[in-house]
Structure 1
Amino acid sequence: MNGSTAPKQTAGRSFYGWFGRKFAQYILVLLIALSINFALPRLAPGDPLIYFMGQEINTLTPEQRQRINRELGLDQSVWEQYGSFMMGAVTMQLGSSTKFGKPVTQVLAERMPWTFLLVLPAIIISPIIGVICGAFAAWNRGKRRDLVLLTSMLAVESMPGFWVGMLLIAIFAVNLGWLPSYGAVPLVKADTVTYIIEIVRRMILPVATITISTVGTYFLLTRSSMLDTLGQDYILMAEAKGVSKRRVIYRHALRNALLPVYTHITMSLGILVSGAVVVETVFSYPGIGRLLFESVTARDFPMMQGVFLMITVGVIAANLLADLTYPLVDPRARFRKTLEGSA
């Protein structure tokens, strides 16, 4: 009894030790990223008020300048500002937006659902298409089908996202008139069913743009990984035993070839909070990416820092998720972690 439970306890301690070290590393990365986020606006030359108010700064009286500095916390020392910034990042008290006149967290909460609604379908559709086409091309390596798919995907991969979006707008919104080209909701009030339909119609072109812009990466990753896997001895043994082509591809080769693809998919989850800046700007879609563009053009530094904070946290969370779930996909990683913990 004691002999059977001892390995489990050792493995548990090893996992918790590994997780603790990883968590500490990501906390350190987050602190460094937040420090850079704090320092960049303050390292810019010139009066900070110029970045907040532009040329209107010349019309302010000294009393007004002093009051604005006090409201923005610019009358404090750098270390006091750093402490306030870090405390605000922990408590999610990120100040008020100078462009929208609302708390930063409120604006982020309003924009975040639209980004999830736009990016999440693309993250699901793009890997499915890329993996299926990549596995098919690898199995038919060197043949005409492989060359056609490879050439097509390389061409798609080389297209800039904004160009793809403008091309889709020109075809489906301008020439054919099938779909709207901007916004997320209809301008005219409608009943609930019509409202939902219009939201979906306005999602189609942006989602298609993100999917087209990212599917090539998944295709190339899958094809390259599949080519390495198809040369393994167990694949040759399965073919020699007369296993069907479909079973060899999807039950033997693809399961092992998906490991680097899974890592890339997990990392891509970080864009859920950053949004697709280019795509959302092209389609005037009210997500986080569009918000970042508007904040930069308006020099809204509190909002910019809030968006950068969310991007940083999202990327770190995606990396942590990849570290935690990768052993479930690849048991060899689980074994390595156990050995590292034991060491």
Structure 2
Amino acid sequence: MLKNEKLLKFLGRKLVRFIILLIVVILLSFILIDMSPINPVKTYIANLGVASPEKIATLEAYWGVNEPITTKMINWLTNILHGDLGTSLIFRAPVINVITERFTASLVLMLTSWLFSGVIGFILGVIAGFKKDTIIDKAIKVYCYILQSAPTFWIALLFLMVFAVYLGWFPTGLGVPVGTLSEHVTFWDWLHRLILPMITLSVVGIASITLYTRDKLIEVMNSDYFLFAKARGEMGWDLIIRHGIRNILLPAITIQFLGFSELFGGTVLVEQIFTYPGIGQAAVAAGLNSDVPLLLGIVIFSAIFVYCGNLIADILYNFVDPRIKEGEENE
């Protein structure tokens, strides 16, 4: 009963922080975009071609270009409260529909790469920790340091040139073949175009989980209970599995959830390079084409997505693992 009350109190605090964060993100994003040279009217006119002064005036009145920023912000917030994020200039569709469709594609990419990087990173970290100071450990650490120092777009371009252009194992981009309707695309065609972006995005996330798992395993190997088990005659991988992995698995999962922000940021770059039709490519297109409603909608949605990942990590950190003390109680 006490634990349930503690959880409710914890979630209540997180909810208040989330509301404050969302308000700050919304206001700051709106102010920055309003101060930028982005002009939806100019973009719309550029797509139309020649427009009369009357048409321009009508569009400016519709978008509220000449209104004070406070009026524009109040109108926009009022629409958000009614569930209306506006209409995308690029896709000519409601912003919420565009985000839902694009995020579905991105979610598959992010989840597969997140799982792949977590599993591979954890395995490499366990191997490096168990083989501490050997050539295997040093090779894994060098690999991780190179990944951490290399920009995501550089790795994506390298993979694209090697595996798509030179070797021709994978297509150079897009989510479906050119000229094919999405409902006519087979599962294998879709999977074939997903593999390279997924591997690229997961490779970037391997380094942090590998190094963290290695350090945690070394810490466990130096603990009293581990040394006691070793003194009783347990050794090798059986010792690591029984007394090592089960004590580092949950902290590793927690760190993996904390990497949601990096995952989302990497998705934007990877989708742009591989022209993958996800939320990242839509964000870049919205910024380049002055699609203010879509850009603001993606900013809000990305903030919610990243916060949810951090919230899951906090719940794991504070409640699932009873050995970890909640630092907030000491504040």
- TM-score, with length taken from structure 1: 0.85
Q: How does 1:99-248 map to 2 (within 5 A)?
A: 99-189=90-180, 195-248=186-239
CA 1:304–1:192 in 2, change beyond 3 Å: closer, same or farther?
A: closer
Q: Show the counterpart of 2:304.
A: 313
How far 1:304 moved relative to its partner? 0.7
Q: Describe the shift of the 1:336–1:103 C-alpha distance in structure 2 as closer, same or farther (beyond 3 A).
A: closer
**What pairs up with 1:250-269 in 2 under 5 angstroms?**
250-269=241-260
Match of 1:28 in 2: 20
Distance 2:267 2:233 in 1: 46
Residue in 2 that maps onto 1:16:
8
Q: 1:77 offset after TM fit, Å? A: 3.9
Supply the distance in 1 between the matched residues of 2:38 and 2:119 (Cα, whole angstroms): 50
Matches of 1:47 and 1:160 in 2, distance apart?
28
Amino acid at match of 1:24: V
CA contact (8 A) 1:274 1:311 kept: no
Bigger Rg, which one: 1
Residues 1:82 and 2:87 aligned together? no
CA 1:325–1:90: 2 relative to 1, 3 Å: farther
Q: Is the 8 A contact 1:157 1:215 kept in 2?
A: no
Cα separation, 2, equivalents of 1:12 and 1:215: 35
Distance 1:259 1:54, change over 3 A: farther
* CA displacement at 1:171 relative to structure 2: 2.4
Q: Which stretch of structure 1 is more off in the superposition, 220-229 or 258-267?
A: 258-267
SS in 2 for 1:331: coil
Matched-pair contact (CA < 8 Å) for 2:41–2:59? no
Task: Please report the RMSD computed on the Cα atoms of aligned residues, expressed in angstroms.
Answer: 3.0
Q: Deviations over 1:99-132 (max 9, x none)?
A: 2222111211221111112121110011111111
Shift of 1:90: 3.5
Q: Matched residues in 2 for 1:294 and 1:276: separation?
A: 14
- Correspondence for 1:249: 240
- The whole-number CA distance in structure 2 between the counterparts of 1:56 and 1:201 is 34
Distance 1:187 1:59, change over 3 A: closer
1:286-319 residue CA offsets vs partner (Å, 9 max, x unmatched)? 0011111111111211111111111011111112
Q: SS where residue 172 of structure 1 aligns?
A: helix
Q: Which region of structure 1 is more displaced relative to structure 2, 183-192 or 238-247? A: 183-192
Moved more, 145-154 or 273-282: 273-282
CA shift, 1:247, in A, is: 3.0
Query: Partners in 2 of 1:179 and 1:71 — Cα distance?
Result: 45
Unaligned residue ranges in structure 1 (runs of 5+)? 1-7
The reply on whether 1:325 has 2:320 as its aligned counterpart is no
Greater displacement, 119-128 / 247-256: 247-256
Partner residue in 1 for 2:56: 65
Change beyond 3 A, Cα 1:191–1:281: closer
> Does the CA-based 8 Å contact 1:104-1:302 persist in structure 2?
yes
Any conservation in 1 of the 2:39–2:290 contact (CA below 8 Å)?
no
User: One-letter code of the match for 2:281?
Assistant: R
Query: Quick one: which amino acid aligns to residue 159 of structure 1?
Result: A
What corresponds to 1:40 in structure 2?
Answer: 32
2:109 maps to amino acid:
L
CA contact (8 A) 1:119 1:275 kept: no
1:272 and 1:126 mapped to 2: Cα distance? 10
Q: How far is 1:196 from its partner?
A: 1.4
* Paired letter, 1:21: R
* Identity of matched residues, %: 27
How far the C-alpha of 1:240 sits from its partner, in A, is: 0.8
Q: Are residues 55 and 151 of structure 1, via their aligned partners in 2, closer, same or farther at CA, if it must alter by over 3 Å?
A: same
Cα distance, 1:11 vs. partner? 3.7
CA pair 272-220 structure 1, distance change in 2 beyond 3 A: closer
Distance 1:182 1:57 in 2: 29
Instruction: Give the paired residue count.
Output: 331
Q: Quickly say closer, same or farther: Cα 1:171–1:12, change in 2 above 3 A.
A: closer
